């Protein structure tokens, strides 16, 4: 599906240092009942964001107006558990275009790349630097550059490079997805299937 | 000749092409779909004006979101009903085999695939569900995918993924009495951590693994994802072949002999190199239970909840937040904690062997008064066998409530929810916050342990009861 592509993203950051955030927290199963991809952002982090009566929990970062932005800075092992792509839909729908962490779960990372949320893996040390800088000044901006494969803390110029393969890089920059690619080589796939025992 | 692991042999045989400095175009033999992660994929196919390339390679069943009572009636919950109806419409439109509610082979997708003999050694299998790793027990590469990938498989029978790194976990020796394959995998995850196998595909080996039944092997492979692994697999052997023989979709006659000859080649070559190896001694493994909010937070039932010694920063904050959610304190014993619910079921432990072991242990006993006990068979086939073998009668006499097949309280998408603040000991796979209902507190354990807890009403080492 088409998504907002970008090469350079400059934004303030929402910090969520909790570790091992699983996709059941990002979007609980009871909100997976839709048959269309709409409105998932409203239930992003539902049970951390709202109490049982639906009132916002003041201590959760998404309810703290100090923090906003298109970049989510997350604790290590973000997105573990269920393969539900709805978790990434919820992040995207809420407005995030990039998630930064020192460690991502595998399926979550794939899902991100497939729908246009850039997962940026940084060192635990640089994650600490970023968490600290944002705590000091919530207006701190971070720049993510896909072409150069860099993430930079603009207030100090501290920067780190991140991995992304050339294929996914072109996809992310241009808003392409894997199905476009696969449909283009359908004949080759059919030939492969016919020769496979 | 190049020495290959089992994983590499199967992976390499399914690569249509490798994108330079990118992923592999990976061919999928069998695709399972269910009502929750497929509707948007079908919707997108329509938007693109693309059909399903090989409908005969996809099999569907509604499981995640179905009620476990009155399955013969209209589903009450409107959204659930719509998802199930959408699955029916899509299967009809694209000519996909559907095992619908009430049909002879309805059930949890990872239970019916093996039961039907759809799952076979050497195959590549995907499903929009992370517990697809279950099918690895047959020596297949099986893993969970997102909805975009479900769309890719429907449209082209391929996905685009890079090859995972290779890990082998060897468990040698014999486990003691009261120790099951669930304890083996909970033990492994507690040692490796909930993220310790991220980026890897795991092969399980060693005498403690090869001596297991297919059902028990499925429990092990099922939980591979709970340590972050993309999947887990076990080399096929006589146990695998005996399980498959005669199954509906298993090869027949000469085809069977040919298939077995090929399946016998599916093993890691002597001297093949893994990126990472772990070795465990089966005699170190005792009945396990989780105390926290990820499956890596497991201890032996006779043990104490770990203290915060050596933890600092966000690691310690996360740990204390987890214990706070569970209502536990660092350093205290877990045994004797009061429990409110027990749940037997799920793609991890909802097979006939699991139900047999629970029935065997509670026979002639009664559940404790403070316990609500749910037992949810993984499939209609399991349910049928449980009736035929007299297990249902035993379980009902012990005070268990038998429900109809589905994912049920494992993820609480339907009405089967554990109330907020209540404790559940569950045979399922995830103890995440709110997994079994908002505020529910889940502890994962084996079917035998769950049976023991049902009878005593508190956390119990099964070896001390029976």
| Per-residue pLDDT reduced to its tens digit, A28-38 | 999 999 999 99
In angstroms, the CA B14 to CA B16 distance is 6
Find how far residue A181's CA is from the centre of its chain.
22
For residues B39 and B119, membership in a common domain is answered with yes
On whether the CB atoms of residues B419 and B437 are closer than 8 A, the answer is yes
For residues B317 and B361, membership in a common domain is answered with yes
Tokens read off for B259: 């298939």
What pLDDT does residue B402 have?
97
Q: B428: pLDDT confidence band, cut at 50, 70 and 90?
A: very high
pLDDT digits (tens, 9 = 90+) for B270-281: 999 999 999 999
For residue A186, which residues of chain B lie inside 8 Å, CB to CB?
A: 53, 156
For residues B224 and B200, membership in a common domain is answered with yes
Is the pLDDT at A124 greater than 90, yes or no? yes
**Domain containing B384 — which CATH number?**
3.30.499.10
For residue A37, which residues of chain B lie inside 8 Å, CB to CB?
A: 40, 43
pLDDT digits (tens, 9 = 90+) for B103-145: 999 999 999 999 999 999 999 999 999 999 999 999 999 999 9
Work out the percent of chain A whose per-residue pLDDT is above 70: 99
Last residue of a domain, one of B271, B286, B301: B286
For residue B13, which residues of chain A lie inside 8 Å, CB to CB?
A: 196
Is the pLDDT at A43 greater than 90, yes or no? yes
**Domain containing A111 — which CATH number?**
3.20.19.10
Is the pLDDT at A197 greater than 80, yes or no? no
Q: B194 at the A interface (CB within 8 A)?
A: yes
Last residue of a domain, one of B234, B256, B286: B286
For residues B224 and B311, membership in a common domain is answered with no
Q: How far is A21 from chain B (nearest CA, A)?
A: 9
Torsion angle in degrees (nearest 10) through CA of B131, B134, B139, B141: -10
For residues B307 and B247, membership in a common domain is answered with no
The mean pLDDT value for B379-392 works out to: 98
pLDDT digits (tens, 9 = 90+) for B199-251: 999 999 999 999 999 999 999 999 999 999 999 999 999 999 999 999 999 99
Considering CB atoms only, which of B152, B162, B434 is closest to A28? B434
- Give kind and range of the element (H or E) at residue B289: strand B288-290
DSSP code per residue over B218-274? HHHHHGGGGGT-SEEE----HHHHHHHTT-TTS--HHHHHHHHHHHTT-SPPTTPPP
Q: Which domain holds residue B92?
A: 1-286
Work out the percent of chain B whose per-residue pLDDT is above 90: 99
For residues B135 and B216, membership in a common domain is answered with yes
On whether the CB atoms of residues B106 and B61 are closer than 8 A, the answer is yes
What pLDDT does residue B123 have?
98
The mean pLDDT value for B348-362 works out to: 98
Last residue of a domain, one of B286, B318, B344: B286
Q: A57 at the B interface (CB within 8 A)?
A: no
Q: Which residues of A57-78 are buried (b: 16+ CB within 10 A; e: fewer)?
A: eeeebbeeeebebbbbbbbbbb
Q: B112 at the A interface (CB within 8 A)?
A: no
Residue partners of B427: CB distance under 8 A and separation at least 6:
B182, B343, B344, B345, B346, B348, B349, B350, B354, B444, B445, B446, B447, B450
On whether the CB atoms of residues A143 and A10 are closer than 8 A, the answer is yes
Q: Which domain holds residue A188?
A: 8-195
Q: Which residues of B10-40 are buried (b: 16+ CB within 10 A; e: fewer)?
A: bbeebebeebeebbbbbbbbbbbbbbbbbbb
Domains in chain A, number: 1
For residues B323 and B270, membership in a common domain is answered with no
Is residue A2, in this structure, part of any structural domain at all?
no
Is the pLDDT at B329 greater than 70, yes or no? yes
For residues B55 and B170, membership in a common domain is answered with yes
Is residue A139, in this structure, part of any structural domain at all?
yes
Instruction: Supply the DSSP symbol for B296.
Output: T
CB A99: neighbour CB atoms within 10 A?
24
Is residue A176, in this structure, part of any structural domain at all?
yes
Domains in chain B, number: 2
The mean pLDDT value for A185-191 works out to: 98
For residue A114, which residues of chain B lie inside 8 Å, CB to CB?
A: 146, 148-149
What pLDDT does residue A1 have?
73
- What sections of A16-105 are H helices per DSSP? 23-26, 46-49, 86-94
Least Cα distance to B352 among B393, B326, B382 occurs for B382
Work out the percent of chain A whose per-residue pLDDT is above 90: 95
pLDDT digits (tens, 9 = 90+) for B30-59: 999 999 999 999 999 999 999 999 999 999
Is residue A101, in this structure, part of any structural domain at all?
yes
What pLDDT does residue B405 have?
98
What pLDDT does residue B87 have?
98
pLDDT digits (tens, 9 = 90+) for B148-191: 999 999 999 999 999 999 999 999 999 999 999 999 999 999 99
For residues B271 and B295, membership in a common domain is answered with no
Phi, psi of B435, deg, nearest 5: -60, -45
Is residue A124, in this structure, part of any structural domain at all?
yes
What pLDDT does residue A193 have?
97
**Strand order through the sheet with B372-375:** B401-402, B372-375, B341-344, B423-426, B441-444
Q: How far is B121 from chain A (nearest CA, A)?
A: 14
Is the pLDDT at B412 greater than 70, yes or no? yes
- Angle in degrees, CA A138, A141, A143, rounded to 5: 150
Q: How far is B433 from chain A (nearest CA, A)?
A: 7
**CB B130 to CB A32 under 8 A?**
no
Residue B418 to residues A54, B140, B408, B412, B424, Cα–Cα distance (Å) = 19, 34, 11, 8, 7
Is the pLDDT at B1 greater than 90, yes or no? no
For residues B185 and B246, membership in a common domain is answered with yes
ipTM above 0.90, yes or no: yes
For residues B270 and B304, membership in a common domain is answered with no
For residues B281 and B318, membership in a common domain is answered with no
């Amino acid at each position: 599906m088409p998504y907002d592509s970008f090469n350079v993203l400059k934004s303030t950051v929402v910090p969520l240092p909790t570790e091992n955030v699983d996709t059941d927290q990002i979007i609980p199963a009871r909100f997976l009942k839709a048959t269309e991809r709409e409105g998932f952002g409203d239930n992003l982090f539902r049970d951390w964001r709202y109490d049982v009566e639906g009132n916002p929990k003041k201590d959760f970062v998404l309810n703290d107006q100090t923090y906003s932005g298109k970049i989510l800075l997350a604790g290590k092992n973000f997105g573990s558990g269920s393969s539900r792509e709805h978790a990434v839909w919820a992040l995207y729908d809420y407005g995030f275009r990039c998630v930064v962490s020192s460690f991502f779960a595998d399926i979550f990372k794939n899902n991100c790349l497939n729908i246009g949320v850039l997962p940026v893996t940084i060192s635990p040390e640089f994650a600490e630097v970023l968490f600290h800088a944002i705590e000091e000044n919530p207006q701190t901006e971070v720049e993510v550059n896909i072409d150069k494969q860099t993430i930079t803390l603009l207030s100090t110029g501290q920067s780190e490079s991140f991995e992304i393969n050339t294929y996914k890089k072109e996809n992310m920059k241009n808003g392409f997805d894997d199905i476009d690619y696969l449909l283009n080589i359908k004949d080759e796939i059919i030939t492969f299937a016919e020769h496979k025992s | 000749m190049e020495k290959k692991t089992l994983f590499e042999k199967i992976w390499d045989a399914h690569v249509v092409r490798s994108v330079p400095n990118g992923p592999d175009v990976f061919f999928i033999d069998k695709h399972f779909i269910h009502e929750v992660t497929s509707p948007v994929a079908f919707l997108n196919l329509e938007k693109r004006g693309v059909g399903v390339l090989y409908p005969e390679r996809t099999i569907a069943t509604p499981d995640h979101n179905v009620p476990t009572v009155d399955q013969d009636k209209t589903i009450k919950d409107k959204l659930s009903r719509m998802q199930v109806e959408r699955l029916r419409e899509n299967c009809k439109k694209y000519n996909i085999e559907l095992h619908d509610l009430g049909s002879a082979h309805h059930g949890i997708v990872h239970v019916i695939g093996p039961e039907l003999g759809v799952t076979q050694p050497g195959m590549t299998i995907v499903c929009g569900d992370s517990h697809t790793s279950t099918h690895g027990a047959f020596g297949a590469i099986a893993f969970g995918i997102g909805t975009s990938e479900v769309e890719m498989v429907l449209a082209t029978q391929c996905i685009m993924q890079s090859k995972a790194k290779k890990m082998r976990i060897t468990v040698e020796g014999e486990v003691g009495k009261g120790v099951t394959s669930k304890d083996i995998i909970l033990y492994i995850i507690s040692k490796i951590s909930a993220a310790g196998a991220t980026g890897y595909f795991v092969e399980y080996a060693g005498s403690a693994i090869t001596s297991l039944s297919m059902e028990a092997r499925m429990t092990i492979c099922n939980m591979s994802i709970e340590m972050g692994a993309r999947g887990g697999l076990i080399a096929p052997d006589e146990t695998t072949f005996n399980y498959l023989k005669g199954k509906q979709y298993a090869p027949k006659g000469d085809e069977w002999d040919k298939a077995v000859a090929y399946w016998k080649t599916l093993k890691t070559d002597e001297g093949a190199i893994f990126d990472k190896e772990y070795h465990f001694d089966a005699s170190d493994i005792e009945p396990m239970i989780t105390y926290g909010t990820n499956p890596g937070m497991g201890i032996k039932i006779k043990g104490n909840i770990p203290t915060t010694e050596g933890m600092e920063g966000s690691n310690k904050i996360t740990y204390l937040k987890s214990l706070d959610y569970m209502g536990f304190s660092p350093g205290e014993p877990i045994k004797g904690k009061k429990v409110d619910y027990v749940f037997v079921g799920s793609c991890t432990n909802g097979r006939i062997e699991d139900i047999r072991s629970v029935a065997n242990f509670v026979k002639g006993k009664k559940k404790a008064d403070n316990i609500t006990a749910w037992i949810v068979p993984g499939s209609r086939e399991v349910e049928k066998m449980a009736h035929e073998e007299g297990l249902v009668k035993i379980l009902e006499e012990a005070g268990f409530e038998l429900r109809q097949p589905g994912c049920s309280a494992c993820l609480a998408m339907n009405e089967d929810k554990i109330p907020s603040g209540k404790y559940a000991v569950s045979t399922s796979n995830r103890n995440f916050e709110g997994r079994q209902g908002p505020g529910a507190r889940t502890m994962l354990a084996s079917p035998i342990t769950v049976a023991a807890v049902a009878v005593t009403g508190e956390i119990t080492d099964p070896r001390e009861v029976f």
